[in-house]
Structure 1
Amino acid sequence: MPDDSFASFANYQMQLTPNSLIVLFPDITDSTGNIAAVDSTHIRLEPGYYLISYEVSVLFNSANYMQVTPSYNGAPHLETGIYFATRTNGSSACGSSFLILYAPSSTEFSLTYSGSAEGRDGQVTLTILKLRRN
């Protein structure tokens, strides 16, 4: 049985700017090469099935909303995104998502923040596990 493929990424105390990719720093790297950072905003996944878990939180100075959308297989996927609206000044927004991603060929995974305003003291954690399937 081969070694499991898994990796984790994180970032904290970051500014989130509307319509921008979220910067992800490697935490635990994958020694098998199935999951690898391409740059600070993209992760390459080799063909297969993956269990992906991510959470994002941010602080807003005024009422706003947070929208985080994953992209893979060449398209954004709103159905597995995170949305959270705030109504008061100085509010926090947070959310998490789990998904199973099928990559028929090598694909790049990224997270885009498209909220209504800049957020401060943002935090993101991302965990990826390649699933075994015959």
Structure 2
Amino acid sequence: MAYMQQFANASPISFAPAATDPTGHIVQTSVTQVTLAPGTYFVTYNISAILEAAGYLQITPSYNGRAFLEYGVYDRVASASVGVSGSSSFIAMVPEETTFTLTCNTDAAVRDGAMTMVILGLHTSES
């Protein structure tokens, strides 16, 4: 899922799927949300953007009813019109159906934002 956009402070990042999950366990339910069925998932995402002023960009994944700062991406720049980027990968344990989002926080205007995300359902001995 990827395309260029402006990331807005305190807002979820929108995306468009490049592929759909034929099992129905991973379903895009809005332009900013993915619903995950109970299970175990490998999540990886990459973010890049240009900050119009000196400042920071923080991206935080949320699921299971809470934000996971430890899986977030943070970058800071000291000048205007400088690129920021980062990536994160993690295993998400989902005990019950949940909504997954990536939320942007920034203190500067953001342009040319790009996000690529992959969510893979993992087979476990319980599934």
Match of 1:28 among 9, 19, 36: 19
Give identity over the alignment, percent.
Answer: 38
Corresponding residue number in structure 1 for 2:88: 97
Corresponding residue number in structure 1 for 2:8: 17
Whole-Å separation in 2 of the counterparts to 1:30 and 1:80: 23
Q: Do structure 1's residue 128 and structure 2's residue 116 form an aligned pair?
A: no
Aligned length: 125
TM-score, length of structure 2 as denominator length: 0.96
Which deviates further from its counterpart, 94-103 or 59-68? 59-68
Q: Deviations over 1:80-107 (max 9, x none)?
A: 0000000112100000000100000111
Corresponding residue number in structure 2 for 1:116: 107
Q: 1:121: Cα distance to partner?
A: 0.5
SS in 1 for 2:58: strand
The gaps in structure 1 that reach 5 residues or longer are: 1-8
Corresponding residue number in structure 2 for 1:70: 61
Please say if residues 17 and 117 of structure 1, whose CA atoms lie closer than 8 Å, have aligned partners that are also in contact.
no
Whole-Å separation in 2 of the counterparts to 1:92 and 1:80: 21
What is the one-letter code of the residue matched to 2:14? Answer: V
Q: 1:16: Cα distance to partner?
A: 0.8
TM-score, length of structure 1 as denominator length: 0.91
Corresponding residue number in structure 2 for 1:60: 51
Q: Do structure 1's residue 37 and structure 2's residue 14 form an aligned pair?
A: no
Whole-Å separation in 1 of the counterparts to 2:86 and 2:97: 28
Q: 1:21: Cα distance to partner?
A: 0.6
After TM superposition, the runs of 4+ consecutive aligned structure 1 residues lying more than 2 A away are: none
Q: 1:123: Cα distance to partner?
A: 0.1
Corresponding residue number in structure 2 for 1:6: none
Q: 1:118: Cα distance to partner?
A: 2.0
